[in-house]
A and B are shown apart, each in its own frame.
Chain A
Amino acid sequence: MTTETATRGARHTELDMLEAEAIFIMREVAAEFERPALLFSGGKDSIVLLRIAEKAFWPAKFPFPVMHVDTGHNFPEVIAFRDKRAAELGARLIVGSVQQAIDEGTLTEERGIRASRNRLQTPVLLATIAEHQIDAAMGGARRDEEKARAKERVFSFRDEFGQWDPRNQRPELWSLYNGMHIKGEHMRVFPLSNWTELDIWHYIEREALEVPSIYFTHEREVFERDGMLMSVCPYLPQLPHETTFVAPVRYRTVGDMTCTAAVRSDAADIRAVINEIAVARVTERGASRADDQFSEAAMEDRKREGYF
C-alpha cells in the first residue's frame, strides 16, 4: 500500500504527461493502421519522436519503418546522423529522393537565386507514401511552430491527392482518434502536437538523447540574406554584395541548406541551448526558416498541397 500512496502522491510533471500522450497516440496508430511509417529527418523533433516509438513498444521493436524525404540539399552532418540512428535501432529506412525525381525528369528544379527544393519535397513525399502504401505517416510537427499547424488535428486526414482541407477537419474529441479511411487516403499523425520547442529540449536533456552537432555552436562560413545567416554551400548561389564571413553559429531547426538559416550562438551543450531558447524573442521558424517568409499563409498553402 505504501507504493500506491507514493505514486498517487507524486504529481506528474508536464513532460511525463506529454510523453504519455505521445505514446498513447503512437500505439493507436500501430493498432489502427496496416502500414504506418515514422517520418525521421534527423532533426530534434523527429529524434524525440523516435524515442517515443522506442518507449511505446518496448521490449518489442517499434512496428513500422522510418521514412525521410531527402532533398539532396540536406546538411551532411544530419544525413550521417539519420543513417547512424536508424542502424542503431535496427529500423528499416525508406528514403524518398528529390534528386532522383529531378534526374528522372518527374520534377523540375526551381530557378533563380532563391531557388529551393522545399516545395519539391511534397510530390516526393506523396509518391513515397503511395509507393510503399503508407496509410499513416507520423511526423514530429508541433502546434506551437506555426499558426496553420496550431489548427491541425492530431490525426490529420489526407484525401487521395494528399491534400489537407482545413475547413473540413474531422472533429477530434477527448483522446478518441478516428483513423478510419479507405485505400488511397491516408492520415498524418502528430504525436508531439502539444509540445513546445522548450519541451523538446527539456526532454532531450532528460533522456540524454544525442542530436546532430549543428544544433550546437560551431564556426561556419556564412553570408547574410534578408537578415538571416545562410551557410555557404554549393546549392546556394551568392549575390556579389553577399560577402562571406566566419561566425560562431548554431541551428535552431534543421531543414534544407537552402532555406534553413543559422543563428549566432555560443551554446555548446543542451543546458546552454535551453537557456538561450528560454529568453529567445524570435520563434524558431522566424529565426531560421526562409520558406515561411513568402506570405502570411505560406505554411497553410503548402500543407493544403500535402506538405508535412
Chain B
Amino acid sequence: MDLLRFVTAGSVDDGKSTLIGRLLYDSKQVFEDTLASIQRASEARGLGDMNLALLTDGLRAEREQGITIDVAYRYFATPKRKFIIADSPGHVQYTRNMVTGASTASLALILIDARKGVVSQTRRHSALTSLLGITHLVLCVNKMDLAEWSETRFNEVEADFRAFAGQLGVQEVTVIPMAAVSGENIVDRGEHMPWYTGPTLLEFLETVETPDHVSHGALRFPVQYVLRPHTDEFHDYRGYAGTVASGTVTPGQEILALPLGIRTRVAAVDRFQEQCASATNGDAVSIRLTEEVDVGRGHMLVDPAHAPASATRFSADLCWMSDTLQLRPRQQLWLKHTTRRVRCMVESLDDRLDVETLERSAGPASFGLNDIGRVTLRTMEPIFADPYAVSRDTGSFILIDGSSHQTVAGGMVREVLAQAGAPA
C-alpha cells in the first residue's frame, strides 16, 4: 500500500476542519470515544450536537478562538491507500505554519466557500503551495448547499480559479463541488448535484498519481553520521550513514565525495545485518567506500558525471518566519541544507512577492513575518545544491538565528550564481 501526504488550506470559516472531520468520519476513521468527547465539547459550547471541526482543532487556544493555529497531522487509511493530512491554518498570521505543512506534501486541497468564490486567501494559499513545489491542486468548492447546489455558480468559480492557477503554472488542477457539513461529494455522492459527474474527494485521493519530489536520477547521498563500531567483529568498519536523496547507489559504482573532490568507489551498501544490491531515494543505509577518505557529516557522495553545484553564492526564494527578527542585507545566520550547517550572509533582498497578485516589487528594505521573496545568499563554505524545482531534498534549506536558535526562514534554491567579482 502506498502513502499520500497532502496539505489542506482554506480561509477562516471555509469549513476546512469540518471537511477533514467529515473525511475521517465518513471513512469510519473516527472512534466512538473521540466522537463522544467532541459531542460533549460541542454541547458545552452551544455548537449543536456534533461539530466535526472539533476533531482537528486540538489546542485550547484553537477551541477558544474557533480557528486553527498550528498544523495538525491526521492519519487515515482506506483499503486502497494510506494518507497523512497536514491540516494547516488559513489565517494570514499563521502562514509560516501552513508552509510547514506544505513542505512535506505532494498535493494540496484548497477550500473555498461557493458563495464567496476565489478570494485573496485562495490566491495566497495556491501561490504558497505552488512555490513549495506542489504540482497538484484540488479546489474544494464547499458550502454548495448555501449556493443552491448551483451548477452555474460552480462553473463560474471553477473558471476563475483555473485562470489564476494558469498564471501560477500549476500542472494539475481538479475542482470538486461539495458540502462538508452534510458530506456531499466527500466520501459519498449525495443527491443534490446530479450535474457533477467527476469523482468524489475520497475517490480522487485514492487514485491520484503524484510525481516524485525529484526529477533527476543522479546520486545525492548526504552523509549524516559516521559509523565506527570498534568491535572485534567489525574492527575496521567505517560506514557512512545517511538517506539517499536521489538516484541509486550500487556496490562498485564510482562516486565523487564532496567537498573533498575525491573520486572513489562504493565497496558495499549496508542495511542492518545485510548488504544490499542497491539503494534508491528514500532508503536509509550505510555506505562503505573502497578507499579510506576523510568523509564526515555534512559531506555528500554524488554521481561524478552529474555532480551538484558547489555553491557559495546563490539566489533563493525565502519564506521569512520570525515575528521578532527582521531580515536585512548583510545579516548573518546559520543555514542548514541536507545534513550540512554553514554560516551564511544575506547579500541582497532582491524582491518581495505579493502572493495575492503575484507581482514582485524590487529591492525591499527588509522582510518581516510571513514575507516571501527572492534573496541572494553567500555561504562561508559551499553547499552542494540542486535547484528546488529539480529536487526538494537537495534544493531546500532553513535559516537559523544564531542567538535565539529559532528557525527563522525556509528557503528554496533557485539558481547558483558565480562568486562575487568572478566572471559570470
- Taking Cβ atoms with an 8 Å cutoff, the residues of A that contact B are 3-4, 6-8, 11-14, 16-17, 19-20, 23-24, 27-28, 30-31, 54-61, 143-144, 146-148, 150-151, 166-167, 169-176, 178, 180-182, 193-194, 196, 198, 280-283, 286-287, 296-297, 300
The answer to whether B407 and A59 touch across the interface, beta carbons within 8 angstroms, is no
The verdict on A176 contacting B336 (CB below 8 Å), with A147-B72, A148-B58 known, is: yes
Report the Cα distance A143→B99, complex, angstroms.
19
The verdict on A54 contacting B410 (CB below 8 Å), with A11-B2, A27-B241, A151-B70 known, is: no
Which 9 A/B pairs are nearest by Cβ-Cβ distance? A286-B33, A147-B58, A3-B277, A60-B229, A180-B405, A23-B284, A173-B103, A20-B284, A173-B410
* Closest B residue to A61 using CB positions: B229
Chain B interface, DSSP helix/strand/loop, else mixed: mixed
Does B339 have its Cβ within 8 Å of any Cβ on chain A?
A: yes
The answer to whether B75 and A178 touch across the interface, beta carbons within 8 angstroms, is no
Closest approach, in angstroms, between the C-beta of B125 and any C-beta of chain A?
A: 17
Report the Cα distance A91→B389, complex, angstroms.
44
Q: Which residues of B contact A178 (CB under 8 A)?
A: 336, 398, 400, 405, 407
The verdict on A173 contacting B398 (CB below 8 Å), with A194-B73, A281-B31 known, is: yes
Report the Cα distance A56→B241, complex, angstroms.
8
The answer to whether B1 and A13 touch across the interface, beta carbons within 8 angstroms, is yes
The residue that A58 contacts in the complex, of B60, B225, B273, B334, with Cβ under 8 A, is B273
Q: Which residues of A contact B234 (CB under 8 A)?
A: 59-60
Does B126 have its Cβ within 8 Å of any Cβ on chain A?
A: no
Report the Cα distance A202→B334, complex, angstroms.
40
* 16 other A-B residue contacts (CB within 8 Å) besides A17-B282, A60-B228, A283-B33: A3-B250, A7-B280, A27-B225, A59-B227, A60-B231, A61-B229, A143-B73, A166-B59, A171-B97, A172-B100, A174-B398, A178-B400, A180-B405, A194-B73, A286-B33, A296-B40
The answer to whether A24 and B243 touch across the interface, beta carbons within 8 angstroms, is yes
The residue that B99 contacts in the complex, of A24, A56, A171, A181, with Cβ under 8 A, is A171
Q: Which residues of B contact A180 (CB under 8 A)?
A: 334, 400, 405
The residue that A54 contacts in the complex, of B56, B97, B224, B272, with Cβ under 8 A, is B272
The answer to whether A175 and B393 touch across the interface, beta carbons within 8 angstroms, is yes
Report the Cα distance A4→B3, complex, angstroms.
23
The answer to whether A150 and B74 touch across the interface, beta carbons within 8 angstroms, is yes
* Closest A residue to B408 using CB positions: A171
Q: Which residues of A contact B248 (CB under 8 A)?
A: 4, 7-8
The answer to whether A296 and B398 touch across the interface, beta carbons within 8 angstroms, is no
Q: Mark B219-238, 1 if CB is under 8 A from A, else 0.
A: 00000110111110110010
Report the Cα distance A300→B63, complex, angstroms.
12
Report the Cα distance A7→B70, complex, angstroms.
38
* Closest A residue to B81 using CB positions: A14
Does B264 have its Cβ within 8 Å of any Cβ on chain A?
A: no
Q: Which residues of B contact A297 (CB under 8 A)?
A: 59-60, 63
The answer to whether B282 and A7 touch across the interface, beta carbons within 8 angstroms, is no
A-B contact list, 27 entries, CB within 8 Å: A3-B278, A7-B248, A8-B248, A11-B2, A14-B1, A14-B2, A16-B282, A24-B224, A24-B243, A57-B225, A58-B286, A59-B229, A59-B239, A59-B270, A61-B229, A147-B56, A150-B58, A150-B72, A167-B59, A167-B69, A171-B96, A171-B410, A174-B104, A176-B337, A182-B405, A194-B75, A296-B63
The residue that B70 contacts in the complex, of A57, A146, A169, with Cβ under 8 A, is A169
The residue that B59 contacts in the complex, of A24, A143, A151, A173, with Cβ under 8 A, is A151
Report the Cα distance A120→B97, complex, angstroms.
33
Closest approach, in angstroms, between the C-beta of A58 and any C-beta of chain B?
A: 5
Q: Which residues of A contact B276 (CB under 8 A)?
A: 7
Report the Cα distance A99→B424, complex, angstroms.
69
Q: Which residues of B contact A170 (CB under 8 A)?
A: 406-407
Report the Cα distance A283→B24, complex, angstroms.
14
